[in-house]
């Protein structure tokens, strides 16, 4: 994806707001050629006791959209969250090299479901929509040297499960199974476009 992105709108004037500071989601949303603003949601992302990864992703996506929509009630607000799911246990962003090594050791030779949730909210119109786009990812039986080379090269410490598939991380994998091709990167655009249409903003119709 290009590092040169169109300028963002001011949130107070925007018809569409991305409730996320993720650069990956911002780059993906630009693909729809819609002007939008970015606003950081003030949401506690701590999992609830015993909360399943899919439930956590859904709850946080909706909470993010609702929190930003409460501040900008006229706008359509997109919230999204992704939780890597290994046998029902959530795997978050590693944050450090050491934690990323642990994650990839645990996932090698295994299938991980990346639970990617998205929600769209317009408070003024009482509009809410949400959906889940699970992505099943089968990791290769990676050796320690491959993991170390990948992490030193890509440094994916802000990616759930340490897997950045749009870069060198694709070499970690044997297979990806998904019905929404951008879901693994962090924003399922097929679902986003559908929700925006339902909310009155069609990316294929000029404003």
Question: How far apart are the C-alpha atoms of 205 and 191, rounded to whole Å?
Answer: 17
Return the closest-CA partner of residue 114 out of 139, 144, 145: 139
Question: How far apart are the C-alpha atoms of 102 and 42, rounded to whole Å?
Answer: 29
Residues 6 or more apart whose Cβ sits within 8 Å of residue 190: 133, 179, 180, 181, 182
Q: Exactly one of 10, 44, 81, 177 is catalytic; which is it?
A: 81
Question: How far apart are the C-alpha atoms of 60 and 53, rounded to whole Å?
Answer: 11
Tell me the three state secondary structure of residue 171: helix
Question: How far apart are the C-alpha atoms of 47 and 43, rounded to whole Å?
Answer: 12
Catalytic status, residue 85: no
Task: Kindly list the catalytic residues.
Answer: 81
């Amino acid at each position: 994806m290009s590092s040169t992105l169109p300028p963002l709108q001011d949130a107070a004037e925007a018809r569409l707001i991305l409730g996320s500071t993720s650069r990956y989601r911002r780059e993906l949303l630009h693909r729809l050629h819609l002007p939008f603003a970015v606003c950081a949601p003030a949401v506690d992302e701590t999992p609830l006791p015993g909360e399943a990864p899919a439930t956590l992703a859904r709850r946080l996506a909706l909470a993010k959209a609702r929190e930003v929509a409460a501040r900008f009630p006229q706008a359509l607000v997109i919230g999204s969250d992704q939780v890597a799911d290994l046998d029902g246990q959530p795997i978050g962003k590693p944050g450090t090299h050491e934690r990323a090594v642990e994650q990839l050791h645990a996932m090698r030779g295994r299938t991980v479901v990346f639970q990617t949730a998205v929600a769209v909210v317009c408070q003024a119109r009482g509009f809410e929509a949400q959906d889940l786009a699970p992505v099943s990812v089968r990791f290769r039986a990676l050796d320690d040297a491959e993991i170390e080379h990948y992490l030193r090269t890509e440094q994916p410490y802000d990616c759930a499960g340490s897997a950045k598939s749009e870069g060198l991380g694709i070499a970690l994998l044997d297979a990806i199974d998904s019905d929404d091709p951008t879901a693994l990167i962090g924003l399922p655009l097929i679902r986003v476009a559908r929700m925006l249409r339902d909310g009155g903003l069609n990316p294929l119709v000029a404003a």
